Structure 1
């Protein structure tokens, strides 16, 4: 804090705090029956790495070298999948949203899928710490015949430390379009209200939750996948699946992050284009 005295009054100037900025963009092309890298751009704390795999799909790992997100930070990711391509996007580790003394930290993701393409959006869990503020936005534009599997999961504090992040704030907005037509929209908000944590219609005391969205090529495919998933979901688990049109939505809750993974990993394996998860997902 710097104080500047003038003839009439003292003006207090707050210091400009350093904030993380990161941008990562990737685009694919098709060649010899494989999805290959076309363009790659990275800036600031946003990095993208391409591990070697034995799959015809292309796998990319998104990395935030800042080590987490706090108030005023801004991360922007975007990906474009060529027609008939298959791209898998994941993260190096769980993202962490740390205490903020002011603004929300922002993470914005934009995905574009060509005709007949498939994209697996598989970031690992986001951990909300006490007094954190996080605003996320996911925008997806899909061409005819394209399919998508996407997940966002949240942990309220760290299991091993007994944290519950009771005052954490979250804003999460999804918009999915096919040929410019909105086919899925949802908004999630945590407002540090104790009723949100205890209510049977909300978190019911759980500290981990996830939404999985699969957009199939046709409504019939979505219905068939939904019936398949319902047959394999564990009895008594806080997890359910529903299909509307070409959309299949799975929502799950659990008391811990490990318990949540046990619920959602079998679901993701069934819905991903490769039928398996990236190696970084294996504990």
Structure 2
């Protein structure tokens, strides 16, 4: 479900407020979980964005940003060397971008969520993007294993003239192992609030492991993804051109990719899609992302260096 609200929202939603109690419901299981925290602050320093302050607690591992081109964008990988999330894990990330900073966040591999006997794993991301700053949030997909329980919340607050490109994708499971929609439950929330007070909210729950055993119309597909591009500093004509371009990209692989692009009440675009395979998902992400960077900031495609 995607909803658009005009009123300002409190920093703490009921969705997030209940995460801690949910992860600790089964005390015997959650005792094996870890409470990892990662805090990152970026500022613009001359022609580059630099990491000005950081702190982390296991299982997060801090990698310093690198620079892939001459744009000054700080490219940072979020690394969890434990291999994935188990029941009882509660990871938090607090990310802050100062004025005119430009940060690209990604992950070196998929976010794996392992089987749990009761307690869920949770990940909460709180992001603040300063005036005229740009955040590109492009992680690898989340793979929920059979029997896993996962809850994620991503909240973004934009200052005047700030921009965010936010990508989020989940997989039906370990497809090669014959696991499709076999996880117990997955809950996801994305909220982006702009400086004008408008906000966009996506919230959904998939529980193929409950009594119904259904996930609705998404069942024939293996990947579900969302892309949000939001900025109050972009002209309406630019949004119109980008909307047309993104819509045409979604039509390039009929029967392999199904999606749509819309203009929500916030200033920007929302894309929802499903895909058959990992190559299909990578194809559509590359196209959507490249078109967005070119149209909004006249920036070249990113050449990944993850391995």
Shift of 1:157: 1.4
Shift of 1:52: 4.3
Is 1:242 matched with 2:267? Answer: no
Over 3 Å counting, the alpha-carbon distance change for 1:52 and 1:131 in structure 2 is: same
Between 1:85-94 and 1:164-173, the stretch displaced more is: 164-173
Q: When you count helix as a share of all residues, which structure comes out higher?
A: 2
The counterpart of 1:227, out of the listed 236, 244, 249, is 244
Between 1:242-251 and 1:118-127, the stretch displaced more is: 242-251
Is 1:146 matched with 2:162? Answer: yes
* Structure 2 residue aligned with 1:207: 222
* Structure 1 residue aligned with 2:5: none
TM-score of the pair, normalised by structure 2: 0.80
* Structure 1 residue aligned with 2:144: 128
Is 1:24 matched with 2:41? Answer: no
* Structure 1 residue aligned with 2:197: 181
Higher Rg of the two aligned structures: 1
* Structure 2 residue aligned with 1:279: 304
The counterpart of 2:287, out of the listed 260, 263, 266, is 266
* Structure 2 residue aligned with 1:51: 66
* Structure 2 residue aligned with 1:71: 87
The one of the two structures with greater contact order (alpha-carbon pairs below 8 A, sep at least 6) is 2
TM-score of the pair, normalised by structure 1: 0.86
Shift of 1:249: 0.9
* Structure 2 residue aligned with 1:34: 48
Over 3 Å counting, the alpha-carbon distance change for 1:15 and 1:68 in structure 2 is: closer
Over 3 Å counting, the alpha-carbon distance change for 1:194 and 1:86 in structure 2 is: same
Matched residues, number: 266
User: Is the 2:173–2:183 Cα contact (8 Å) retained in structure 1?
Assistant: no
User: Is the 2:169–2:224 Cα contact (8 Å) retained in structure 1?
Assistant: yes
Q: Deviations over 1:177-223 (max 9, x none)?
A: 11272421110210114442xx4xx3151121100111033461333
* Structure 2 residue aligned with 1:99: 115
Over 3 Å counting, the alpha-carbon distance change for 1:14 and 1:104 in structure 2 is: closer
Between 1:59-68 and 1:255-264, the stretch displaced more is: 255-264
Is 1:137 matched with 2:153? Answer: yes
Shift of 1:29: 1.3
Distance 1:123 1:173 in 2: 16
- Structure 2 counterpart SS, 1:71: coil
- List, as ranges, runs of 4+ consecutive aligned residues in structure 1 with deviation greater than 4 Å: 13-16
Over 3 Å counting, the alpha-carbon distance change for 1:14 and 1:281 in structure 2 is: closer
Over 3 Å counting, the alpha-carbon distance change for 1:235 and 1:15 in structure 2 is: closer
CA RMSD in angstroms, aligned pairs only: 2.2
Unaligned runs of 5+ in 2: 1-26
